[in-house]
Structure 1
Amino acid sequence: MRTGTAEEIRTEPTPAPVAVVWGLLVLNTLGSAGAKTIVPLPRSLIQMVTMGSLVAAFTLALALNLRLRVRSSAFLLLLTLLLALSVISSVHLESGFGALFRCFRLAVFVGTLWLVSRWWDGDMTFVRHHIRMYFAVLGSVAAGLVLSPGAALPDLYGGRLVGALWPLTPPQIGQYAAVIIGLTVLLLMGRRTDRTSATVVIVPSLVLLALTHTRTATLGLLLGLALAIGSLVLTSAAARRFFAWAVVGGTVTAVVLGSALQAWFLRGQSKENFTSLTGRAKVWDALLSAPRSTTEYLFGVGLGDKSYGGLPIDNSWLAVYHEQGAIGVGLVAAIVLVLGGVALLRPPSLARACAIFLISYCAIASYTEAGLGDASPYLLHLTVAASLLATPVPAGPPPAPGVPRRRVPTWARRTEVS
């Protein structure tokens, strides 16, 4: 694998099959645990599909980039260091042979990101791929709701929306909906899509987000959009208008629907259950108070299923601390800080605003959701942010007289779709 020059990397536009690679990565990170589906799917079958999609993504990315030209970045370098740390922490098998399998999965995942980095040039290509793929996932959720409302809104989850066709939990659905809503709003504000297309994405996604009753995703969406739009206020009249209307609309909604919003936010929980973050705080306290050797403190116990004592950790930082140690926490913090720092140093632009939204959303969600230290949707969100922050590559000088232009096959031509 070698880093190509700017002119070499930019000789061809992003091939259309890169969208397929991205879709396969999204499929891999959907997970295999969740609600009961209409048609029971064995977990082994789901794991076979998700792992097969990752291998297929790597194979296709390698076929598209046989010359192994990549765009080096601090983000990918830190991810590679996190992978190496994960292998070191897992080799002792404290978390069983499953830890080594998870390391292999993370290695293929990171390798695929290296291969597709060739086409990172600060444009909206990967943002559009991201929206389309997760909108397709939400389409399956909506289809399950129509086919079997009882299975999609089970009592086991307190009537919150789950995946009835593919086992997705309410926090997963809320995350996907919030991310594509935020990105679509920014594209609409930047005039990169039309109102009809934006409405088709935003309205159904808002309905699904409301049905999940996911507080983390809602707060991440609102705060992430506030930061992203705030980064454009000084240079964009559309951002100023949107910000003003959002403040007025939010104030009116809070006054008129205050009690209904409070009931939605509390989800019928007691004060004690709410203050303990639905029992998460008890798991966190137990994890932090558990004795650890120096090796476990520095390197963790190896990649696991993000649980402690049989209960989910539901915090990215504590999950990384448990599995990859204090060094892992430092690497993950460096990933977020480097991306955030680069975003702040960039001049105001739509790409920068989208990157700020994704970075801030992941930072906010990391408090009650795990995933920053392993192959997950959160790493895909940060990857899109990294692609947006990549320095645009010049098209290169025209060919010399007498030298024929290089013909690009039809399937490799870039297409911009609103």
Structure 2
Amino acid sequence: MHGDLKRGVLPGGPDTTVTQPGAEPRPAAGTPKAVGIVWALLGLNTLGSAGAKTIVPLPRSLIQMVTMGALVAAFALALALNRRLRIRPSAFVFLLTLLLVPSVISSVNLEVGFGALFRCARFALFVGTLWLLTRWWDGSLTFVRHHIRMYFAVLGSAAVGLVISPGAAMPETYGGRLVGALWPLTPPQIGQYAAVITGLTVLLVVGRRTTRGSAAMVIVPSLVLLALTHTRTATVGLLIGLVLAIGSLVLTSAAARRFFSWAVVVSVVAAVGFASALQAWFLRGQSKEYFTSLTGRAKVWDALLAAPRTTSEQVFGMGLGDKSFGGLPIDNSWLAAYHEQGLIGVTIVAAMLIVLTGVALLRPPSLPRACAIFLISYVGISSYTEAGLGDASAYLLHLALAASLLAAPAAAEPLSTATPLTTPAVPRRRIPRWARR
């Protein structure tokens, strides 16, 4: 599958040097392969430890040890790869760093427990690793391919669990929706990963950066798993994200125009011929009243907003927690940020999305820009029914990928003329014929 998804090596050298007059530019080295390992370790850290019961019971403490160990390993490996601490300016990572301020201020209150400070340390390591990785953010598709491979491996574990034990992979406690039977993954998680790599792979096909056969091996199983999760947010985010991303290429890409036309035809046929089946899948057997209340989320949101808070709690929040209120999940990134990081946290999260959107709109049409638009729009849509924009999560990793795609290509490292690598060859003196006798 991955034979055609090899990354293209583009310039990614240091960005702080200036070519001196008379100096020849030194060819920039490509992104080290170990950077993909760092990215995969960050993804492993964001998988979480809460979810369905697995075939082989895994203690939550063991899962937390693995995920936290993955983050520490990611930071250590990134530091080893970037020993000179060369970083590139990034407004997105800078805003993430600012988000640490209200997180720490609200978490130092020991009434919320030491868990909040531990989450702050985890968030700081996550942000620090991203800073170290910015050295290789050059607007290429390198990290897109790392992203696809990483989450395809996660989906592979869910598929293997489904084959081994269908009952454990689709338990009645989750309404028969697909969960992780080998690793505790929830249906929204699996749906999110499937939707994201499906969208990115479709864009690679449209941009002719991979073959159709290779892409089909990613897209088809991912869509099957997405359908088995019955995740509405991921499905809507995938469709709207692809419309916006491919729409950004329509004026400059004939392949995008053809794909867009075929997608419209297929959508109309599916809406007419399979309307009842699509409606049944979308409702998941729920009543329309339960559906309009967002499966009970609205009650939690109303209770959270109605809860009394001091001025300090309104400004800085209650401290980093498990994204729940009253023992129930908040399932909204904005309310979760308000609850844990206050109004300052909500403002910074909004600034992150606004900055990324603004930069994407200012960039000329290109495939990396289209991938960034897809990721930003998907995360923006998912933020309404999923939490994660205020802490280390897969959603922040999606936005970090978008930031890497919107980064300007790095400058080539200059070759100093003062210390030549080789001694210039001395031209041989030609001897006249009469002198050779």
Q: Could you tell me which amino acid in structure 2 is paired with residue 69 of structure 1?
A: R
The aligned counterpart of 1:78 is 95
Match of 1:188 among 205, 209, 228: 205
Question: 1:37 maps to what in 2?
Answer: 54
Moved more, 92-101 or 345-354: 92-101
Is residue 152–residue 197 contact of structure 2 (8 Å, CA) maintained in 1? yes
What is the CA–CA distance in structure 2 between the aligned matches of 1:110 and 1:54, rounded to whole Å?
11
Equivalent residue runs for 1:160-309 within 5 Å: 160-309=177-326
Deviations 1:209-266 (A, max 9, x none): 0000000000000000000011111111111111110000000011111100000000
User: Out of 16, 19, 31, which is 1:4 matched to?
Assistant: 16
Structure-2 change in CA distance of 1:328 and 1:197 (3 Å):
same
Paired-residue identity, %: 77
Bigger shift: 7-16 or 147-156? 7-16
- The equivalent residue for 2:41 is 24
Question: 1:73 deviation in Å?
Answer: 1.1
Aligned to 1:137: 154
Letter in 1 for 2:77: L
Give the number of equivalent residue pairs: 404
The residue matched to 1:69 in structure 2 has which SS? coil
Which residue is equivalent to 2:118? 101
Contact kept, 8 Å, 1:94 with 1:301, in 2: the verdict is no
In 2 relative to 1, CA 10–248 (structure 1 residues): closer, same or farther, beyond 3 Å?
same
Asked whether the equivalents of residues 3 and 72 of structure 1 are also in contact (C-alpha less than 8 Å), the reply is no
Equivalent of residue 393 in structure 2, options 345, 370, 376: 376
2:70 aligns with one of 53, 56, 59: 53
Matched residue, 1:356? 373
Q: Is the 8 A contact 2:50 2:185 kept in 1?
A: yes
Cα displacement (A) at 1:83 = 1.1
Segments ≥4 residues shifted beyond 6 Å: 6-10
Secondary structure at 1:110's aligned position in 2?
A: helix
Equivalences for 1:54-69 in 2 at 5 Å?
54-69=71-86
Q: Secondary structure at the match of 2:214?
A: helix
CA distance 1:9–1:107, change in 2 (3 Å): farther
* Residue 116 of structure 1 pairs with residue 143 of structure 2: no
The CA RMSD measured in Å over matched residues stands at 1.7
Q: Which residue of 2 aligns with 1:411?
A: none
Rg comparison, structure with higher value? 2
Greater CA drift, 36-45 or 389-398 = 389-398
Whether the aligned pair in 1 keeps the contact of 2:102 and 2:342 (CA below 8 Å) is: no
What amino acid does structure 1 have at the position aligned with 2:249? L
Judged with a 3 Å threshold, the aligned counterparts in structure 2 of structure 1 residues 282 and 10 are, in CA distance, closer, same or farther, namely: farther
Where does residue 349 of structure 2 map in the other structure?
Answer: 332
Counterpart contact for 1:182–1:225, Cα < 8 Å = yes
CA distance 1:3–1:294, shift in 2 (3 Å): farther
Whole-Å Cα distance in 2 between the matches of residues 360 and 97 of structure 1?
Answer: 35
Q: Distance in 2 between matches of 1:402 and 1:46?
A: 53
1:49 deviates by: 0.2
Q: Assess if the C-alpha contact under 8 Å between 2:245 and 2:370 holds in 1.
A: yes
User: Offset at 1:402?
Assistant: 7.7
| Number of the residue aligned with 2:429 | none
Structure 1: stretches of 5+ with no match in the other structure: 406-418
TM-score normalised per structure 1: 0.94
Any idea what SS the aligned residue of 2:398 has? helix
- 1:144 and 1:165 map into 2 onto residues whose CA distance is 6
Tell me, which stretches of 5 or more residues in structure 2 are unaligned?
1-13, 20-24, 423-437
| Aligned-pair CA distance for 1:395 | 3.4
Deviation at 1:12, TM superposition (A): 2.8
Letter in 2 for 1:326: L
AA in 1 matched with 2:333 = S
Looking at structure 2, the residues matched to 388 and 68 of structure 1 have their Cα atoms a distance apart, in angstroms, of 21
Report how far residue 82 of structure 1 moved: 0.2
Larger mean CA deviation between 70-79 and 9-18 belongs to 9-18
Rounded Cα–Cα distance in structure 2 between residues aligned with 1:401 and 1:5:
16
Check 1:9–1:269 CA distance in 2 against 1; reply closer, same or farther (3 A cut): farther
Contact 1:228–1:357 (CA under 8 A) maintained in structure 2:
yes
Aligned pair in 2 of structure 1 residues 311, 123: CA closer, same or farther (>3 Å)? same
Contact 2:237–2:382, Cα closer than 8 Å, also in 1: yes
1:257 to 1:54, Cα distance in 2 relative to 1, 3 A: same
Contact 1:303/1:323 (<8 A) preserved: yes
Aligned-pair CA distance for 1:351: 0.4
Shift of 1:392: 1.0
Deviation, structure 1 residue 399: 6.7
Which amino acid counterpart does residue 253 of structure 1 have in structure 2?
A
Q: Structure 2 vs 1, CA of residues 191 and 312 (structure 1 numbering), >3 Å: closer, same or farther? A: same
Q: Any idea what the Cα deviations from partners look like across 1:153-205, whole Å, max 9, x if unmatched?
A: 10000000000000000000000000000000000100111111100000000
Question: In the TM superposition, what whole-angstrom CA distance separates every residue of 1:30-74 from its partner, at most 9, and x where no partner exists?
Answer: 000000000000000000000000000000000000100001111
SS for the counterpart of 1:229 is: helix
Residues 9 and 118 of structure 1 are in contact (CA less than 8 Å); yes or no, is this contact kept in structure 2? no
- Structure 1 residue 270, shift from structure 2 partner: 1.1
Deviation string 1:69-91 (CA, Å, 9 cap, x unpaired) is: 00111111100000122111111
Q: Shift in Å at residue 271 of structure 1?
A: 1.6
Shift in CA distance, 39/9, structure 1 to aligned 2, threshold 3 Å: farther
Separation in structure 1 between the aligned mates of residue 410 and residue 168 of structure 2, nearest angstrom:
49
